[in-house]
Amino acid sequence: MEFHASSTSCLDWSGDALIIGLSEDALPLSTTLAELNSRVSGLLQELIDEAEFTGKSGTTAITRVGSGAAMRKLGVVGLGATDAITTESLRRAAAAAARLAKKEKCSSLGLSMPVLNHDAALTAQALAEGARLALHQDNRFKSDDKANGKITLTRIDLLGLPDQEASLKAAQAVCEGVILARELVSAPANIVTPETLAQTAQAIATDYGLELDILEQEQCEALGMGAYLGVARASDLPPKFIHLTYRPAGTPTRKLAIVGKGLTFDSGGLNIKGAGSGIEMMKIDMGGAAATLGAAKAIAQLKPNVEVHFISAAAENMIGGNAMRPGDILTASNGKTIEVNNTDAEGRLTLADALVFAEKLGVDAIVDLATLTGACIIALGDDIAGLFSENDELAGAIATAAEAAGEKFWRLPMEEKYFDGLKSIVADMKNTGPRPGGSITAALFLKQFVNTTPWIHLDVAGPVWTEKENGYNNPGGTGFGVRTLVQWVLAAA
């Protein structure tokens, strides 16, 4: 797929499909669009009238243009109210336009959209991200690729946005990170294993010159990572503790750590997930690690002046004679003891040792993201992730990054009183508390493994997967979190 930032206007473009973004209050047509309408013998206005097109966000309409015209088809896509247009509106509009052009068997698309806040760079990047992500199809495991033999959309011109090659390059880097995360999450657990995640980190390190350290089980034992290794010990596949580091060429302005939960499959352990529990979908339990590696791939290409450590304690949570048992006591690498009262609350155990490891690096801030609790999905649904932090500055920075990225988070309280439900008679704490407030007690558990470093926990259990096409997301892994992490790092530069 080729993207071109073009000085050409909608009046002069030629190709298969010209699609114009219209807001709800953009009718009647502006001077330029009125002239376009005249050139196509009133077809633009006729399309708007016959389709009863009002500019509502995400709506589309398209028609064939008569012979002799510069374009073969002419379409419109709704942007919603003018005063409510954001970068996310543009991403979604570009996604809708790209899908429409593909459905109409067009090989070239001219996109004519308003420039948001007179910022051509931001507009071009948002449009390119939306279209590229919408057109991504993961057909790796299908014997018959339905795209074969059909006309495919190969070129998109962003009209009226000249000299934005840097923005298109940035969009491509971000999308490559998102697509990597999508494909890791969508792949089954017999394909993506802890070793696969380590190999993915190695490929990123090799391609972009990052540093990589993979700690094997013996090294993790030497560091006292009893919580992480307790989870991993029943699997025939060895754990892999991944530490990937991006260092800028100059002196970094900040030093950050991103920690992603990397359970490539979660059976629940001896507290096995029962029928109807969604056990077949537990391949997605490494969504945090996938986003971490996706962010690493993007950041390595964007080269911000920030040092970033990407960390994942990758493992499987399986069943066997060596599996951790309910009632076992594990000792984490900071010396704290944990009574395992539920082996299906394993992600927080792996994150515990990963957070201790991250803080020892002397970073300025730590962000962890994890498909951690079903309770967060019950609270916020499938589209919104939970945000937990006692550091208002860090929480604000992530919220700002998420808004720019178009990813939804909602800050939930760190209610200290709820930690009472994690207290153990025989150890420092249990790994789960009462059912009410389950995502809050999970965050409070993780807090025990960060001492003084500003830290934020993102519970992304809902948004990492979608069953239906939604905006620029297709069914399957969404790559959720990558764009927020990249925005956060870039803002720290």
DSSP letters for 465-485: EESS-BTTBPSEE--TTHHHH
Residue pLDDT, tens place only, 390-442:
999 999 999 999 999 999 999 999 999 999 999 999 999 999 999 999 999 99
- Band (pLDDT 50/70/90 cuts) for residue 344 is very high
Query: Which of 28-32, 237-241, 476-480 comes out lowest in average pLDDT?
Result: 28-32
Q: CATH for 173-492, among 2.70.98.90, 3.40.50.150, 3.40.630.10, 3.40.50.300? A: 3.40.630.10
Does residue 149 carry a pLDDT above 70?
no
Which amino acid, residue 184?
A: L
Q: What does the buried/exposed string (b/e) look like for 71-99 if buried means 16 or more CB atoms within 10 Å of the residue's CB? A: bbbbbbbbbbeeeebbbbbbbbbbbbbbb
Does residue 302 carry a pLDDT above 70?
yes
Joined tokens for residue 395: 């929480």
Is the distance from CB of 388 to CB of 411 less than 8 angstroms? yes
**Beta-bridge partners for 15:** 71
User: Closest by alpha carbon to 192, among 295, 312, 290?
Assistant: 290
- Band (pLDDT 50/70/90 cuts) for residue 150 is low
Cα distances (Å, whole numbers) of residue 481 to 66, 395, 490 = 45, 15, 14
How distant is the alpha carbon of residue 385 from its chain centre? 11
Average pLDDT over residues 19-28: 90
Q: What does the buried/exposed string (b/e) look like for 409-424 if buried means 16 or more CB atoms within 10 Å of the residue's CB? A: beebeeeeebbebbee
User: Closest by alpha carbon to 347, among 397, 390, 285?
Assistant: 285
Torsion of CA 237, 271, 415, 308, to 10 degrees: 10
Torsion of CA 42, 44, 50, 54, to 10 degrees: -140
Beta strands in 318-364 (DSSP E): 329-331, 337-339
Average pLDDT over residues 41-55: 95
Q: Which residues contact 130 (CB under 8 A, 6 or more apart)?
A: 90, 91, 92, 93, 94, 95, 98, 471, 472
129, with CB counted inside 10 A (0-12, 13-18, 19+), is buried
- Band (pLDDT 50/70/90 cuts) for residue 20 is very high
Q: Which residues contact 285 (CB under 8 A, 6 or more apart)?
A: 261, 263, 264, 265, 266, 347, 371
The number of residues in the chain equals 493
Reported pTM: 0.97
C-alpha 408/C-alpha 395 separation (Å) is 13
421 secondary structure, DSSP code: G
Catalytic site positions: 273, 348
Give percent of the chain above pLDDT 90: 94
Q: Which residues contact 406 (CB under 8 A, 6 or more apart)?
A: 86, 87, 88, 91, 483
Joined tokens for residue 443: 């965050």
Query: Which of 18-27, 56-65, 314-323, 347-356 comes out lowest in average pLDDT?
Result: 18-27
pLDDT in the model for residue 1: 87
Does residue 270 carry a pLDDT above 70?
yes
- Band (pLDDT 50/70/90 cuts) for residue 28 is confident
The pairing of strands 329-331 and 211-215 is unpaired
Domain boundaries, the chain: 2-160, 173-492
Average pLDDT over residues 282-297: 98
pLDDT in the model for residue 145: 60
Give percent of the chain above pLDDT 70: 99
pLDDT in the model for residue 152: 86
Place of tokens 């002419």: 74
- Please name the fold of domain 2-160: Leucine Aminopeptidase, subunit E; domain 1 (3.40.220)
- Band (pLDDT 50/70/90 cuts) for residue 148 is low
Joined tokens for residue 179: 């697509």
pLDDT in the model for residue 146: 58
pLDDT in the model for residue 66: 82
Joined tokens for residue 372: 């951690």
Query: Which of 67-76, 199-208, 255-264 comes out lowest in average pLDDT?
Result: 67-76
Is the distance from CB of 326 to CB of 342 less than 8 angstroms? yes
pLDDT in the model for residue 359: 98
pLDDT in the model for residue 109: 98
C-alpha 312/C-alpha 292 separation (Å) is 8
pLDDT in the model for residue 82: 92
C-alpha 166/C-alpha 280 separation (Å) is 42
Residue pLDDT, tens place only, 80-100:
999 999 999 999 999 999 999
- Mean pLDDT score of the chain: 96
The pairing of strands 337-339 and 365-370 is unpaired
Helix axes 165-186, 287-302, angle to 10 degrees: 160
Joined tokens for residue 488: 């956060």
Residue pLDDT, tens place only, 311-321:
999 999 999 99
Q: How many CB atoms lie within 10 A of CB 426?
A: 9
Average pLDDT over residues 297-319: 98
Helix axes 287-302, 194-208, angle to 10 degrees: 0
Is the distance from CB of 352 to CB of 227 less than 8 angstroms? yes
**What 3-state DSSP class applies to 396?**
helix
